[in-house]
Amino acid sequence: MQLNKIYNGDALDVLKTFPDECVDMVITSPPYWALRDYGAEGQLGLESTFQEYINKLCDIFDEVKRVLKKSGSCWVNLGDAYSGSGKGVGGIKSKSLLQIPSRFAIEMCNRGWILRNEIIWHKPNAMPQSVRDRFTVDFEKLFFFTKSKKYYFKQQKEQMKTNQVCGNSTRHHSRKVSLNKGLRKQDNVGRMDYTGFNDRYKPPKDLLRNKRCVWSVSTKPFKDAHFATFPKELIITPIKACCPTNGIVLDPFMGSGTTALVAKELGLNYIGIELNEEYIKMAEKRLAQMNIFEFI
């Protein structure tokens, strides 16, 4: 197994050539079911049923589990689909959301993975949808799995907004406020009789909290590819949280190389697998043109 290389081939076949417990984390976005033809023989996503797709996908992640260190984690971004016209798909009525990400996550847990978080990737610039009998979908899911109960994780922080710091300052608790003379309201933060900040109080601008599970990240087109790539900003947080210094990040569906770019920008190593040779050329071109002084 060679570091900082993208292997050409089927993900399952290539993974079988890797040694046990050799990578620190995995982050990837597999081809979605029945979405597009990537022009590669044997590609994932063109199965006749979504059940077959989920089984094949989880077979690949069985092998991912083998090559992942006990301290490692696995992040998977997966989109959903709707049952088609006519009689529907797999016994599900037409027009119904198929719940492919949820079915995938359940099958992963059935196969021994621990599901730690379900991240909602909110897309502020989501494409409009012409459908008139349901709401526009503006999110996808990003699953955070681990192999063991104990694993490497560095908590990530996020900036709190003023309204998050103060809460609802107009809301009063049922208990009567009892403050010592001269005591500021904000000194009672966390008490049952707390009623909000004084008007003159300015919360610190650098107040942080543990990162939550809804991430608003805009999609960004990649001009050289006809398919959507996940944005770099989406995977920076998982990699910072779950890959130790000098660690190895694996992406078994490398596509145009976003995972490799972020790994290198963060001073880490990557290993990629990609079935389509043209996509490997795209990724290698992006890596060659990478600005090593780019600030994240």
pLDDT tens column, 29-76: 999 997 776 667 778 878 889 999 999 999 999 999 999 999 999 999
Tokens of 106: 């359940």
From the list 269, 261, 262, the residue with the least C-alpha distance to 245 is: 269
> What's residue 42's pLDDT?
74
| Contact predicate 15/251, CB 8 Å | no
- 168 pLDDT exceeds 60? no
Other C-beta atoms closer than 10 Å to the C-beta of 151 total 19
CB contact at 8 A, 104 and 58: yes
Q: Which residues face 6 on adjacent strands?
A: 272
* Between 85 and 1, residue with greater pLDDT: 1
Query: What's the CA gap between 271 and 160, in Å, rounded?
Result: 35
Least confident residue range of 113-117, 134-138, 221-225, 260-264: 221-225
Using one digit for the tens of pLDDT, what is the confidence trace for 233-275? Answer: 999 999 999 999 999 999 999 999 999 999 999 999 999 999 9
Cα(39)–Cα(278) distance, rounded to whole angstroms? 10
Question: What Cα–Cα distance (Å) separates residue 53 from each residue in 67, 83, 100, 113?
Answer: 22, 14, 9, 18
**pLDDT tier, 179 (very low <50, low <70, confident <90, very high otherwise):** very low
**What is the token pair recorded at 90?**
């797999």
For the cut 50, the answer to whether the pLDDT of residue 178 exceeds it is: no
Query: Domains in the chain, start-ordered, CATH in brackets?
Result: 5-156+211-288 (3.40.50.150), 162-210 (no CATH)
